[in-house]
Chains A and B, each alone.
Chain A
Amino acid sequence: MTAMCDVAFLLLTFFMLATKFKPEDVVKVAPPSSVSSDDVPDKNALQVLFDKEGKVFFTYSNGDELSGFVDVVSQQQNLGLNDVEKKRLIKILNGGGGIGVPFGELKQVLDLDADSYKAFKQPGIPAADSANNQLRTWIACLLASNGGKQPDNVLVKGDNGAKYPAFKEVLRAFTDNKVFHFKLVTAMADAPPGSALWDERHKK
């Protein structure tokens, strides 16, 4: 009994420490499944989320400073963000779930205190119409702050129930900025038996 208890609690400690709770996304997104087996990189990754209704959210987790990026955003869009607001924005972008407000409302939203921010329903970044595609602006600002260097990982996470045009506009925001390599975040599924991929994977 004692030995079993010891093992049990050792396992418990192990799993508790090994579990990494990912920051909750601003919206609930249930991605579709695919047979691909690559891992989703979580470092230095730019992620665009879109939900059922096509609301678009933007996150960017980067090991080092995001202040350059935030400065460019503030300057290009004439937002006049102060240091506190910039810090908030960095926190939201980097593991804080993601931002999904038009530039016009960004300053106000960053001024909200923690509780009201939680309660606030973000309307999503306007991306549906190509004349005012603000997602494109976000990406352009990111590239400008990086000196034109492409982000290492561009993740697109869409909801199962989303319509295709939402996805198309997200891709367009990137392709307009000459970013062509994407990784779609999907849930894992097995290769269907009998298919070419299944044969390939079970060759041995």
Chain B
Amino acid sequence: MAEMEVKGGGGKKGPGVKKSKKLSTRVDLTPMVDLGFLLITFFMFTTTLSSPTAMKLIMPDETAKPEEQNEAAKSGAFTIILGKGDQCYYYEGDDPKTMQVTNVKGIRDKIIDKKSRTPADKLVVIIKPDVDATYADAVALLDEMTINDVKKYAMVAVRPDEYTLVQATEAANGIK
């Protein structure tokens, strides 16, 4: 492939002139091929691995008139409060006192459980990240809605009475 036609020594030599040794013009291609494959692997990995995805999020208009906002039915409401250290505090209906604790990984079973007990048109999941929650947990919870096919959900601010309850639970459980 990479050899060139070289005329060997040319025409007639005089007597006594030694025929010059024919040098090989073949080049070893192995390192070049190695490098080529290395680069291919590099470009292949960089092209496929860095593809971010977009997650749709539609926020409600908080300035809308209260009569236009729909109240969540008490029976189907499932409130999840996100706190420190990936902890979730959840309760059904409208009484924060019945709050229970789990973590972000464990919330899926609770959502599935609630979903199985509630008529599909009544179920509303309310996500309330408090000031100590992380962005990753909020996204994880929104993702759970897609994963578990929850049709109605909302992300709203945590109420002060709920927040004090969460803080008390956090203090009792020693979560920093």
Cα of A2 to Cα of B61 in the assembled complex, Å: 65
* Contact partners of A158 in chain B: CB under 8 A: 135, 139
Contact of A175 with B61 at beta-carbon distance under 8 Å, contacts A38-B53, A185-B54, A195-B147 already known:
yes
Partner of A164, one of B36, B108, B131, B147: B131
Q: Is the CB of B55 within 8 A of A183?
A: yes
Q: Is the CB of A12 within 8 A of B39?
A: yes
Min distance, Cβ A14 to any Cβ of chain B, angstroms: 9
Contact of A32 with B136 at beta-carbon distance under 8 Å, contacts A183-B57, A195-B108 already known:
yes
Is residue B60 within 8 Å, beta carbon to beta carbon, of the partner chain?
yes
* Contact partners of A144 in chain B: CB under 8 A: none
Total interface residues on B, CB under 8 Å, equals 46
**Looking across the interface, which residue of chain B has its beta carbon closest to that of A16?**
B43
Is residue A40 within 8 Å, beta carbon to beta carbon, of the partner chain?
yes
Partner of A36, one of B54, B130, B136: B54
Min distance, Cβ B12 to any Cβ of chain A, angstroms: 36
Is residue A114 within 8 Å, beta carbon to beta carbon, of the partner chain?
no
Contact of A36 with B43 at beta-carbon distance under 8 Å, contacts A163-B133, A164-B133, A182-B59 already known:
no
Q: Which of A1-53 contact B (CB under 8 A)?
A: 1-2, 4-5, 8-9, 11-12, 15-16, 18-19, 22, 31-41, 50
Q: Is the CB of B56 within 8 A of A38?
A: yes
Is residue A72 within 8 Å, beta carbon to beta carbon, of the partner chain?
no
Is residue A106 within 8 Å, beta carbon to beta carbon, of the partner chain?
no
Cα of A185 to Cα of B136 in the assembled complex, Å: 12
Q: Is the CB of B135 within 8 A of A162?
A: yes
Taken residue by residue from 70 to 102, chain A's Cβ proximity to chain B (1 for < 8 Å, 0 otherwise) reads as 000000000000000000000000000000000
Q: Which of B134-151 contact A (CB under 8 A)?
A: 134-140, 142-143, 146-149
Taken residue by residue from 148 to 180, chain A's Cβ proximity to chain B (1 for < 8 Å, 0 otherwise) reads as 000000011111111111111001001100101
Q: Is the CB of B139 within 8 A of A197?
A: no
* Contact partners of A4 in chain B: CB under 8 A: 33
Min distance, Cβ A185 to any Cβ of chain B, angstroms: 5
Which of A60-68, A119-127, A135-143, A186-194 sits within the interface?
A: A186-194
Cα of A200 to Cα of B151 in the assembled complex, Å: 14
* Contact partners of B47 in chain A: CB under 8 A: 15, 18-19
Taken residue by residue from 152 to 169, chain B's Cβ proximity to chain A (1 for < 8 Å, 0 otherwise) reads as 000001000000000000
Q: Is the CB of B40 within 8 A of A12?
A: yes
Q: Is the CB of B36 within 8 A of A9?
A: yes
Question: Given A185-B54, A186-B55, A197-B146, 10 more contacts at CB 8 Å?
Answer: A12-B36, A34-B142, A35-B147, A38-B53, A40-B52, A155-B54, A159-B135, A164-B131, A168-B157, A192-B108
Hey, which bits of chain B sit against chain A, CB under 8 A?
Answer: 1, 29, 32-33, 36-37, 39-40, 43-44, 46-47, 50-62, 82, 108, 129-140, 142-143, 146-149, 157
